[in-house]
Amino acid sequence: MFVLTALQLPLKGQSQPDSLIIKNFSSTNYLASSVNYTGLSLPDNTLLFANDRGLLTYDGTEWRLFPIKNDSKVISLLYGDSLIYVGGDDEFGYFERKGTNEFEYFSLREKVSDSLELSSFFQVISLNKDIYFQSYEGVFKWDGDSVQSVPISNAHIFNVQDKIIVSSYSEGLYGFNPDNSTFHINSSFKFETDAAFSILKTSQPNKYIVFTSDSGAYLLNTKNYSVSDWDTEASELFRRDGFYLGTYWLDSLYAATTWDGSVVIFNENGDVKNYIDKSKGITGKYLRELFIDNRNKIWVTSDVGLSEVYYPKFDTLREVFPRIARLSINDKSFATEVILDTLISENSNLKFSFVTPGFETDEILYSYKLDGLTNKWSQWNEVSSKEYTQLKGGTYTLNLKAKTNTGLVSKIVSYSFKILTPWYKTSWAYVLYTLIFIGIIALITWSRNLRLKILNNRLERIITSRTKEITEKSQALEIANETLKIKNQELDNFVYRSSHDLIAPLKSLKGLIHIAKSDNTDDIQLEYLKHMEKSVLKLEDFIKSILEFATNIKTTTQKVDVDLNEIIDDIAYELRYYENAKDIKLKKQLEVSHLNTEPKRLKIILSNLLTNAVKYHNYDQENPYVEVRAHENGNGETIIEIIDNGQGIKKEHVSNIFDMFFRANNSSDGSGLGLYIVKDMVERIDGTINVSSTFGKGTSFTLIFNENGTH
């Protein structure tokens, strides 16, 4: 339960309102006895409480209970030399801290005779390096090696100015000698049933306030150990309500508990500055001791639990100590200091839990990084745990730092752990894998070699047989090749001689037809002569195509420097007597005039394309033309284009014009071989040919030549 209230609390001469936070803890929170006697704060802000069932620890997140011998209650506590000294019922000793939040108890009771009957050791104090355990039956001094009995009973002892002062019931104040003997220092300051319960220093030299249980408070002068009345508001309050224990708070103030169940805050002038009781949030009718932790919080023990009294304004903590408290491995939790490497296997589910003693989880932020996995710190967040899964074998270090809500940042704490590498991923396993692999390869190699040897023997027999057979067939093939060469030569001679023998009389016939046309003006006879001439021309064209085809197949390619201008002019000269050729304008646009290629084939290619452009032109339009363009592209290629504005080719025929014996229309008088021969010749001189045409508007042929022969 939290109780918030505004109080007027003066600090160093100022009076101003400050919020007070009171938080109560019961046995349902810490799972131990509801009765607590005292407590203290360790340097790392871990809190310890003397509980009816043992030593109770609290790190801001987790409560833990550590019993002492015979399960005795723990009544008194003292921290010194990294040990926690405790007093209980007929039991006293010390706890040694193991790791971050583990404590091991060592009893000193066995060093004292069992015949002594001792009740509660209600107080533990230190002087120099000696520890004094006090009960009403006696006081025992522990010097680190042995326990000595001090003849003090029915009294309270205090360390005042590094000296032991004894306040004995009904006998006054005593001093204490090094030999453990006592001597009176003030025999008049005594009460029949009362004694000093706390002795607290003031700001004045040698002046102390002595608080009794029921008789109020007094001033003690340590120069002569005289005692005088302390007639103040605080003294009167303690005389009325009873006094249990007091302590210093904030240098200029004191805090004390009363038998009446309240916490009183007052100054050394005895002015009461605050009175905190059940109405303001304190629980428990019977308050016991109180102590101040490292954040200036007042912790009050009682019969029903613990109360935390906190003024945030006075929190002067300057260092925080985060730690990795626990590690959960596959949902099984361990304290980090007891984890063994052998417990963490590869791909385990790891969950680290963080704590910062002295702080609740909502008061602290965490940032972390895992060396071996990442070099980047996480964002600050309130989550007090981090989970890792699928970590591979290797060594890792988890680094952690904390930051308070006031901006105070801790030092980095680290926890190293090792993830075991499975045996099948170890170096020895890989050596074994290598040996097995080598063995398998060797076995496969031996098996294959044996099989190859058997196959080689079989192949040798087959090869010997086949070689003999091939030799016989090779000899027969040579005879057949010689015969074929003779036949091919005879066929070539036949083609050339037949073509020449056919073309010679055709030329004579052409001449006679021309003369007949000139001398005889009879229209009918003239018409017949025209048809005869047309047939002769068609036959001549076919024979010419056959010769070009035969030449293209048989002739090897020999590239030389060719004058493109000269070839085009020769073709134009040959076309001058074609019918209507004089009506067509031949244009030339030659950015490139020379080409490294085979001249005879290039002339046949261009002659066919230009002749077709003339023969199948549209003479009814204005300005009929044929244009030859030549240029280089950026890739070292020469582009030659033959463009006309003639009849054009229908779209459905464009893809077939380079087929053998294909004619685009029935009126064509060509052989159907011209463009087939053109395409074949272009490819033989390392070129390509493309065509684009629009029926009724004209046609464009594009030749692309790579002079290096790598087209």
Cα separation, 304 vs 287, in Å, equals: 9
Give the model confidence (pLDDT) of 150-167 as tens digits: 989 899 999 999 999 999
pLDDT > 90: percent of the chain: 47
pLDDT of residue 10: 40
Instruction: Look up the domain containing 670 and give its range.
Output: 557-706
pLDDT at 15: 34
Span of 171-175, 270-274, 337-341 with lowest mean pLDDT: 337-341
Per-residue pLDDT band for 1 (boundaries 50, 70, 90) equals very low
Report how far residue 571's alpha carbon sits from residue 280's, in angstroms, rounded to the nearest whole number.
Answer: 123
Given a cut of 80, is residue 341 above it in pLDDT? Answer: no
Res. 540: pLDDT tops 70: no
Q: Which range has the worst mean pLDDT, 249-263, 532-546, 568-582?
A: 532-546
**What integer pLDDT is reported at residue 672 of this predicted model?**
67
CATH of the domain at 568: 3.30.565.10
In this prediction, residue 7 has a pLDDT band, given cuts at 50, 70 and 90, of very low
Q: Which of 113-127, 273-287, 340-354, 690-704 has the lowest mean pLDDT?
A: 340-354
Interacting residues of 180 by C-beta distance below 8 A, sequence separation 6+:
141, 148, 150, 151
- Domain contains 693: yes
The pLDDT of residue 394? 87
CB atoms within 10 A of CB 311: 21
The pairing of strands 253-257 and 245-249 is antiparallel
DSSP 519: H
In whole angstroms, what is the distance from residue 264 CA to residue 257 CA? Answer: 6
According to the model, what pLDDT value does residue 249 have?
94
Domain limit, last residue, from 404, 423, 442: 423
* Mean pLDDT, rounded, for 549-576: 79
Q: Which of 77-86, 547-556, 600-609 has the highest mean pLDDT?
A: 77-86
d(CA 333, CA 411): 26
pTM of this prediction exceeds 0.85 = no
Beta strands in 194-331 (DSSP E): 196-201, 207-212, 217-221, 226-229, 245-249, 253-257, 263-267, 272-276, 287-292, 298-302, 306-310, 323-329
Give the HSE-up count for residue 450: Cα atoms under 13 Å, Cβ half-sphere: 5
If one counts the domains in the chain, the total is 3
Task: Tell me how far CA of residue 361 lies from CA of 60, 100, 387, in angstroms.
Answer: 7, 18, 17
More confident residue, 661 or 560: 560
Any domain includes 54: yes
Tell me, yes or no, whether 114 lies in a domain. Answer: yes
44 pLDDT higher than 80:
yes
User: 212-245, pLDDT tens digit by residue?
Assistant: 999 999 999 999 999 999 999 999 999 999 999 9
Specify the CATH number for the domain of residue 43. Answer: 2.130.10.10
Tell whether the model's pLDDT for residue 555 goes beyond 90. Answer: no
Asked if 194 contacts 216 with a C-beta cutoff of 8 angstroms, the reply is no
Query: Quick check: 353 and 328 in contact, CB under 8 A?
Result: yes
Q: Whole-angstrom Cα distance, residue 74 to residue 94? A: 11
Tell me the per-residue pLDDT of 172-215, one tens digit each, with 9 for 90 and over.
Answer: 999 988 888 889 999 999 998 999 999 999 999 999 999 999 99
Query: Could you tell me the sign of the dihedral formed by the alpha carbons of 10, 15, 21, 24, in that order?
Result: positive
DSSP string, 356-399: -TT--GGGEEEEEEEETT-S-PPPPBS--EEEE-SPPSEEEEEE
Secondary structure letter of residue 553 according to DSSP? H
Please list, in sequence order, all residues whose beta carbon lies within 8 angstroms of the beta carbon of residue 518, skipping any fewer than 6 positions away.
none
The enclosing domain of 361 has a CATH number of: 2.60.40.10
DSSP percent split of the chain into helix, strand, coil, nearest 5: 30, 40, 35
Q: What is the CA radius of gyration of the chain?
A: 59
pLDDT value, residue 3: 38
Higher pLDDT, 325 or 512: 325
What's at 641, amino acid-wise?
A: E
Whether 651 is in a domain gets the answer yes
Mean pLDDT of 548-572: 78
Confidence of residue 81 (pLDDT cuts 50, 70, 90): confident
486: which residues sit within 8 A by CB, 6+ positions away? Answer: none
509 pLDDT band, cuts 50/70/90, is: low
Residue 569 lies in a domain: yes
CA 639 to CA 499: how far, in whole Å? 34
Does 595 map to a domain? yes
Q: Rounded to 5 degrees, what are φ and ψ at 617? A: -85, 170
Residue 417 CB-half CA count within 13 A: 30
Provide the greatest CA pair distance for the chain: 180
Give the pLDDT confidence score for residue 6 in this predicted structure. 36
Domain assignment of residue 410, yes or no: yes
- Mean of pLDDT values over 454-473: 85
CA distance 341 to 242: 57
Residue 168: name the closest of 192, 204, 195 by CA: 195
C-alpha–C-alpha distance, residues 604 and 601, integer Å: 5
Helix (H) or strand (E) holding 334: strand 332-335
Q: From 222, 109, 110, 130, select the one nearest 180 (Cα to Cα).
A: 130
Query: Which pLDDT does position 130 carry in this prediction?
Result: 94
Put residue 690 in one of left, alpha, beta given phi > 0 → left and psi -120 to 50 → alpha: beta
Q: What average pLDDT is seen over the chain? A: 85
pLDDT value for 2: 37
In angstroms, rounded to a whole number, what is the distance separating the alpha carbons of residues 39 and 58?
Answer: 11
What pLDDT band is residue 474 in, cutting at 50, 70 and 90? confident
Question: Which of these, 675, 680, 643, lies nearest to 657 by C-alpha position?
Answer: 675
Residue with tokens 């029921």: 214
DSSP conformation class of 49 = E
Residue 577 structure tokens: 């007597």
- For the chain, the straight-line distance linking the first and the last C-alpha, in angstroms and rounded, comes to 92
Q: What is the per-residue pLDDT for 552?
A: 58
Average pLDDT score over residue span 592-615 = 87
135-154: pLDDT as tens digits: 998 899 999 999 999 989 89
d(C-alpha 98, C-alpha 114), whole Å: 29
Predicted confidence band of residue 521 (pLDDT cuts 50, 70, 90): low
